[in-house]
Amino acid sequence: MLQRQGEREKMADGQRHSGLPWRVVGALTLVAVVLAGLLGWLLVQRGHHTTAGLTGREQAAVDAAAREMVNVQSFRLAQFDADFARAIGGLTGGPLEELTAKKAALRSGLQKTKLDTSATATQAALKEADGAKAVVLLTTKSYRVDKAGKRAPFATGRFEVTMSEVGGKWLVSDLTSVGLM
């Protein structure tokens, strides 16, 4: 009988020890999941559009430059007047005059090709900022869009965009295509 009681104690002891590694694995898995969730939350809170080390004003200039470069390359024939108004709303000086002079040619080109245009800003960086002026370097990708909404890439551009703060709003005041280096 003592022998059986000893065997039961050994079995109970063995069962306690065999469950321990599974508990540790479970606890470590739970910790890993919580840490992964926390990391994801932090990345979302930080925002993927912000650039480390920029002030709020500098980031606003970079964001405005990217948005405007997309606007001046994105036109839909069906909403041409609204798209054009949006594009010139972010320009001042020479770029405003230049795009305004090309309005009829832009509309005509869309009518001939029966294709809309769109663009995305793929990279943006602040080159320099001084008071109410900032210079932003941008890379864009341009697309032709058919009536079904299918986008076909047709150009990549690299630009140096001078932004001027006018009435509390960042506007493109100069634009230079810098091509490939």
Domain match, 88 and 173 both: yes
CATH number, domain of 164, equals 3.10.450.50
Judge if 39 and 62 occupy the same domain. no
Please give the average per-residue pLDDT across 85-98, as a whole number: 97
Residue 16 has pLDDT above 80, yes or no: no
- Tell which of 48, 69, 84 closes a domain: 48
Q: What is the number of structural domains in the chain? A: 2
Distance of alpha carbon 38 from alpha carbon 16, whole angstroms? 33
pLDDT at 41 over 60: no
Whether 106 and 148 map to the same domain: the answer is yes
Looking at the fold, whether 65 and 18 belong to one and the same domain comes out as no
Q: What is 107-130 written as a DSSP string?
A: HHHHHHHT-EEEEEEEEEEEEEEE
Q: What is the pLDDT of residue 51?
A: 55
14 and 89 fall within a common domain: no
* 60 and 39 within one domain: no
User: Model's pTM, two decimal places?
Assistant: 0.70
Same domain, 138 and 89: yes
R_g of the chain computed on alpha carbons: 29
Confidence band, pLDDT 50/70/90 cuts, at residue 38? low
Q: Which of 25-39, 48-62, 113-127 has the lowest mean pLDDT?
A: 25-39
Question: 138 pLDDT exceeds 90?
Answer: yes
Strand partners, 158: 139
- 50 vs 85, which has greater pLDDT? 85
pLDDT of residue 142: 96
Average pLDDT, the chain: 84
Same domain, 21 and 76: no
- C-alpha span between 52 and 35 (Å, rounded): 23
Domain residues for 43?
A: 1-48
Instruction: Name the residue among 52, 57, 67 with its Cα closest to residue 130.
Output: 57
Tell which wins on pLDDT, 165 or 28: 165
